[in-house]
Structure 1
């Protein structure tokens, strides 16, 4: 199963925030630099993570984002379910209309079950517990910070 690019950026942003020293605010630009993704993409991810109640954001000159308690306990399965915007796991529509086989399609239902099984497998994986100091040290060194792990 493949996750979409937005979910990927959102997961990486959470991993960086989970690795930051406790209570430290990271700017969106800092997160973008850490994950090697354009600022605009990370900005949208930060907005969505805030809407989901996983991070706290402080505005202003000394503002930034930090992981909150909900963000420290969210599982990969829960997060990916919330970030998945696809109605169907299969592309059942085209610019020319719906697939003529769409009505009661067995493949479509099987793929929906497979997607849910994928998420269920990730329901025990707490995102904030994934990063480790060895992994994050070079990332944080590159942006001039030390990981908080």
Structure 2
């Protein structure tokens, strides 16, 4: 399984926000510069994360976004499941697979997926940023940490 770029970008952004002091915010432009990603891509991710309630956004001159809750309150399985839209890993119906009636691949993969998410449920965003100093140091030479509100 390979997660979508959307999910990858979202997790990176959440990890960097979690490594910052509580309540710290940044802008899409600064986050894009730090992660070397297009602000256009990140804009879509930020919109979705705000809709999910994981971040809060503020418009205007002193605008930006920050975590809406503590990192220990966001489970990794829920983050990935939501950003991936929890779609099946094997699609036997589009196009219709001729092997489907007698094939057990879809069931095997579905069971593996359940185990995958069961394992990820043991971890939170806080677990992904245990060594905050490493992540926080990434922004020292960028505008990100300088622009924290």
Residue in 2 that maps onto 1:28: 28
TM-score under structure 1 length normalisation: 0.84
CA deviations 1:55-100 (Å, max 9, x no partner) are 1111111100000126551111111111113632024356xx3221
Residue in 2 that maps onto 1:119: 117
The within-5 A match list for 1:1-149 is 1-69=1-69, 72-85=72-85, 87-92=87-92, 97-103=95-101, 105-131=103-129, 132-144=131-143, 145=145
Q: Does structure 1 retain, via aligned residues, the 8 Å contact 2:71–2:124?
A: no
* Aligned alpha-carbon RMSD (Å): 2.2
How far has the Cα of 1:7 moved from its partner?
0.7
- Cα distance in 2 for partners of 1:33, 1:143 equals 8
Q: How many pairs does the alignment contain? A: 145
CA deviations 1:14-37 (Å, max 9, x no partner) are 011112222222101111122222
TM-score under structure 2 length normalisation: 0.84
Structure 2: which 5+ residue stretches go unaligned? Answer: none
- Cα distance in 2 for partners of 1:49, 1:6 equals 11
Runs of 4+ residues over 6 Å off in structure 1: none
- Cα distance in 2 for partners of 1:38, 1:127 equals 23
**Residues 1:128 and 1:28: Cα distance change in structure 2 (over 3 Å):** farther
How far has the Cα of 1:5 moved from its partner?
1.2
Structure 1: which 5+ residue stretches go unaligned? Answer: none
Q: Does structure 2 retain, via aligned residues, the 8 Å contact 1:34–1:142?
A: no
